[in-house]
């Protein structure tokens, strides 16, 4: 475990401190928020389109049910590409800098989304239509895999160490903005257009309109200065990171014991707690934001509008929860806040699930909002900063991205499926959902006992915190 927070300690040297103005910090914060909002808007736009119209536009030779399944399958393809994007662009981000890669990822991600709105349908070009759709989904996922992790890393490395939690919470807020924005756009289209208008041209509007946000985000990123932490790191020379052999040679010549220690560290020691933190939050998100809508609608036999309403209301409440938890993380530490929020979540699981299963508004609404904000949004606020703080400066971008995407792919992939099968086997009992939530909530709690406190850590340190 690393104990020194000064990267120039024990004989190492540190470059002159890079100066950043308040305007630079504002641009970095705006860049992170816009990128994350665009990412979640892109995926929400597609998920709603897949459910509403894509089966009739791109898979016309199949039965209606199979067409929807095919449309959803192309939605899943985007998630398969995300870990590859995190690995590829994360390594480049550690090699040539954060801003160059964030410029590329947002252009890939947003450009692919815009082009979906210009695709020919199966009525026009036949089998080529779904093939082009899958290709764009792969490009979209490939870029998105390094987007939210890169935004978190950039904000962590830009922000003053005593305000990192509040500033980095903007990344988590971006997820809400994107999801709510996409839902609102589709809600308006469905309300004002006829089915014929929606299928002929209306469905293109959300995708083409996303280009407006893309242009603004690209403009912000173009003007964004490189992360001061990257520039100040001892393994960076003239804006490019040295190779491992070059770094070792330089550290040996300068008697930089900190860098030499970093080169000998076992990376898995930091990846285990980071994986548990991310796995638990992503698992709770999959259960509460994905499966719970189905549980409320099908198992509890309530109106479909109830499930979407509670998600929207809870997302609005999160605009207060996320920055508050981020600020508390600055004051009391990430590790302690993870433990507090996880324990509160464990205590609340049974009473909130009992209240939800009672199928009575507004009790159901209150219970969902409380559980969602404590076990999903609060942990998301902490996670976006804690993961970059765990890893050292040499591999921070790649490590953060890979852990985020692999843990999320596993947790959100298996969680809702297991919960649905288990609830079905128990004829609608809420107990399986409670057990799944407890399992996912315990994971980050265990992770905190495998890591030190990382709040306020010098992010120029090349060593992992563990």
| Three-state DSSP state, 456 | coil
Identify which of 179, 173, 172 has the alpha carbon closest to the alpha carbon of residue 311: 179
Predicted local confidence at residue 42, as pLDDT: 82
Predicted local confidence at residue 59, as pLDDT: 78
Which residues in the chain land under pLDDT 70?
1-19, 51, 61-76
Cβ contacts of residue 203 below 8 Å, gap of 6+?
Answer: 49, 52, 53, 57, 117, 189
Q: Take residue 180 and report the two structure tokens written for it.
A: 């709510």
Predicted local confidence at residue 71, as pLDDT: 67
State the residue for tokens 């086997």.
425
Q: What is the pLDDT of residues 16-65, one digit of tens each?
A: 445 677 788 888 888 888 888 888 888 778 777 876 788 788 877 666 66
Residues 65 and 159: their CA atoms lie apart, in Å, by 49
Distances (CA, A) of 364 to 317, 357, 358, 359: 15, 8, 7, 6
Predicted local confidence at residue 111, as pLDDT: 93
Q: What is the pLDDT of residues 82-98, one digit of tens each?
A: 999 999 999 999 999 99
Cβ contacts of residue 88 below 8 Å, gap of 6+?
Answer: 142, 146
CATH 1.20.1250.20 location in the chain? 22-232, 262-448
Predicted local confidence at residue 9, as pLDDT: 37
Q: Take residue 262 and report the two structure tokens written for it.
A: 């970093």
Strands 240-241 and 236-237, sheet pairing: antiparallel
Predicted local confidence at residue 19, as pLDDT: 63
Query: Could you tell me if 86 and 145 are in contact, meaning their C-beta atoms sit under 8 angstroms apart?
Result: yes
Query: Could you tell me if 228 and 158 are in contact, meaning their C-beta atoms sit under 8 angstroms apart?
Result: yes
22-232: in CATH 2.40.50.100: no
Query: Could you tell me if 393 and 459 are in contact, meaning their C-beta atoms sit under 8 angstroms apart?
Result: yes
Query: Could you tell me if 60 and 122 are in contact, meaning their C-beta atoms sit under 8 angstroms apart?
Result: yes
Q: What is the pLDDT of residues 59-90, one digit of tens each?
A: 776 666 666 666 666 666 777 889 999 999 99
Please, is 350 exposed, middle or buried when counting C-beta atoms within 10 Å of its C-beta (0-12, 13-18, 19+)? middle
* Terminal-residue alpha carbon distance, the chain: 4
Q: Take residue 62 and report the two structure tokens written for it.
A: 């199949």
Predicted local confidence at residue 395, as pLDDT: 94
Residue 351 phi/psi, 5-degree rounding, is -65, -40
The CATH number of 262-448 is which of 1.20.1250.20, 3.40.50.460, 1.20.1600.10, 2.30.30.140?
Answer: 1.20.1250.20
Residues 215 and 113: their CA atoms lie apart, in Å, by 13
Predicted local confidence at residue 63, as pLDDT: 63
CA atoms within 13 A on the CB side of 143: 26
Residues 245 and 224: their CA atoms lie apart, in Å, by 31
Q: pTM of the full predicted structure?
A: 0.87
Predicted local confidence at residue 171, as pLDDT: 80
240 strand-pairing partners: 237
């Amino acid at each position: 475990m690393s104990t020194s927070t000064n990267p120039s300690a024990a004989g190492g040297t540190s470059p002159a401190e890079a100066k950043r103005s308040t305007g630079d910090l504002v641009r970095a914060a705006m860049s992170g928020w816009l990128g994350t909002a665009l990412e979640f808007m892109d995926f929400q736009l597609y998920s709603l389109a897949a459910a509403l119209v894509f089966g009739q536009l791109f898979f016309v030779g199949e039965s209606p049910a199979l067409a929807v399944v095919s449309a959803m399958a192309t939605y899943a393809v985007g998630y398969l590409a995300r870990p590859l994007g995190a690995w590829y662009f994360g390594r480049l981000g550690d090699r040539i800098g954060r801003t160059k890669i964030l410029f590329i990822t947002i252009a890939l991600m947003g450009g692919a989304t815009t082009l979906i709105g210009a695709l020919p349908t199966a009525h026009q070009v036949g089998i080529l239509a779904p093939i082009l759709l899958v290709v764009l989904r792969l490009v979209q996922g490939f870029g998105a895999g390094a987007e939210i992790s890169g935004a978190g890393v950039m904000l962590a490395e830009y922000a003053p160490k005593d305000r990192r939690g509040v500033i980095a919470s903007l990344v988590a807020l971006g997820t809400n903005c994107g999801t709510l924005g996409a839902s609102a756009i589709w809600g308006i289209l469905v309300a004002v257009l006829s089915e014929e208008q929606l299928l002929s041209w209306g469905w293109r509007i959300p995708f083409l309109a996303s280009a407006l946000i893309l242009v603004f985000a690209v403009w912000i990123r173009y003007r964004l200065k490189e992360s001061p932490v990257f520039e100040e790191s001892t393994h960076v020379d003239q804006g490019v990171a040295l190779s491992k052999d070059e770094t070792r040679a330089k550290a040996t010549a300068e008697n930089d014991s900190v860098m030499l220690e970093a080169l000998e560290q076992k990376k898995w020691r930091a990846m285990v707690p980071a994986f548990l933190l991310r796995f638990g939050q992503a698992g709770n998100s999959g259960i509460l934001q994905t499966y719970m809508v189905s549980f409320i609608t099908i198992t509890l036999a309530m109106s479909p509008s109830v499930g979407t309403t509670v998600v929207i209301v809870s997302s609005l409440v999160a605009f207060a929860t996320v920055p508050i938890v981020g600020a508390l993380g600055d004051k009391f530490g990430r590790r302690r806040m993870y433990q507090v929020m996880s324990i509160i979540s464990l205590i609340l699981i049974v009473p909130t699930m009992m209240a939800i299963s009672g199928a009575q508004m507004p009790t159901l609404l209150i219970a969902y909002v409380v559980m969602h904000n404590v076990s999903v949004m609060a942990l998301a606020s902490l996670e976006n900063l804690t993961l970059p703080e765990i890893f050292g400066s040499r591999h921070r971008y790649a490590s953060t991205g890979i852990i985020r995407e692999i843990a999320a792919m596993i947790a959100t992939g298996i969680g809702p499926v297991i919960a649905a099968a288990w609830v079905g086997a128990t004829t609608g009992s809420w107990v399986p959902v409670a057990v799944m939530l407890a399992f996912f909530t315990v994971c980050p709690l265990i992770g905190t006992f495998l890591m030190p406190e990382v709040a306020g850590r010098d992010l120029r340190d090349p060593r992992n915190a563990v």
